Amino acid sequence: MRLQNKIIAVTGGTKGIGAGIVRILAGEGAFVVFSGRSKTEGESLAAELKRKNQKAGFFQADISKVKDCFAFIEKAVESGGRIDGLVNNAGIFPTFSLPDTNEDLYNQVMSTNVKGPFFAIQRALKYMNEQKKGSIVNIGSTHWRVGPKDMSAYSISKGALRTLTEHVALHYIGNGVRCNWVTVGWVISDGEIEKFKKMGKDRAWIEGLAAEHIPSGIFQTPEDIAHACVFFLSDESSQVTGADITVTGGFHSP
């Protein structure tokens, strides 16, 4: 119960890594307010946690819209009278090279992966600065430095998010607000699995990708990422800001 009674907001918490983070944080005693675009998935997860006598609330939001970012943070504050933590997990990762990326796709990636976290942090800082305490965790990627050729906009967006992390870490620690980063390795998504199955690849072939590309030989899980978040959100890391927990099994991006 390392997060007992903390009020923590998580963006993009209805599935994948986000849902894993929500489950682990709630299990550690936090009241988790999480966002997502799917009302069905969000309400289903909230009901699951309620059955376990854990505290969570779903707020339907599109984090690429500033008004939704603000409304989501306000919902978290309304739920507990304050906001102790924010996890910026929502993100999209379309696979297009730079020449193949059109303006609409570029704007969509930047709005979700950069603008959303920027304005969620902006609104959270309003309360965290007053409280003189708060922890922000940005979910990163091994691709933030260069990235694969077919993930140009995504890689650039994660580079911007990394800069935002270090900016907040330096300039707001004087107010007791910390900001840290989790580098995600290869957490294979349901979408990737479905894509490979459509290519005629079975589960054994998919698992072989981990053995081939990840030094640890296995894919990372949403829970692996969540445990790093727990440390950053807990009082154990009260003097940790601008840090990077690399949860990759040794995997490195180009």
- Could you list the active site residues? 154
Query: Both ends of the chain: CA-CA distance in Å?
Result: 38
Q: What distance in Å separates the CA atoms of residue 18 and residue 213, rounded to the nearest whole number?
A: 24
Q: What are the phi and psi torsion angles at 120 (to 5°)?
A: -65, -45
